[in-house]
Amino acid sequence: MSSEPYPVILVHGWNSHPGIWNRLVPRLSDASIPFWKFDHTGMNGADLSELAAALGASVGEMRDECGYAGSIDMVCHSIGTCIARLPPPDQYCHINLPKNPVVIERIRQYLTRPVP
């Protein structure tokens, strides 16, 4: 197992914003855990498949920027859980594939927080 912490991807929920993670981010920083926030607030009117495709592209860009290809941890809230699990529209291949293969391929932990 790697001694380096795994990056965490934070995906906010419906009618929300990345500020929902303001209490978690300092703890990640204090623990020297890298994190990336996926912000879909500017995608009003997008359907889930479009959001899933955007998340996959965003994760790919973040990996390229950091040169990181290893496992990740993902923390999602509300509809963020759906976004992370839905395959992008060009990758629908089988009813038994309920995951976004662009994102999930290297997920180590997948933590969700449902709506209260």
At 16-31, the pLDDT tens digits run 999 999 999 999 999 9
In the chain, the number of structural domains is: 1
In a domain, 56, yes or no: yes
Q: How far is CA 115 from CA 29, 35, 81, in A?
A: 25, 22, 11
What is the pLDDT at residue 30? 95
In a domain, 1, yes or no: no
In a domain, 61, yes or no: yes
Band of residue 92 on the pLDDT scale cut at 50, 70, 90: very low
On the CB side of 19, CA atoms within 13 Å amount to 4
Structural domain range at position 23: 8-113
Please check the confidence at residue 43 and state whether its pLDDT lies above 90.
yes
- DSSP states along 31-96: TT--EEEE--TT-TT--HHHHHHHHHHHHHHHHHHHT--S-EEEEEETHHHHHHHSPPGGG---TT
CATH number, domain at 38? Answer: 3.40.50.1820
**pTM for this one?**
0.76
Helix (H, G, I), strand (E, B) or coil at 101: helix
59, two tokens = 């994760």
Of the chain, the percentage scoring pLDDT greater than 90 comes to 27
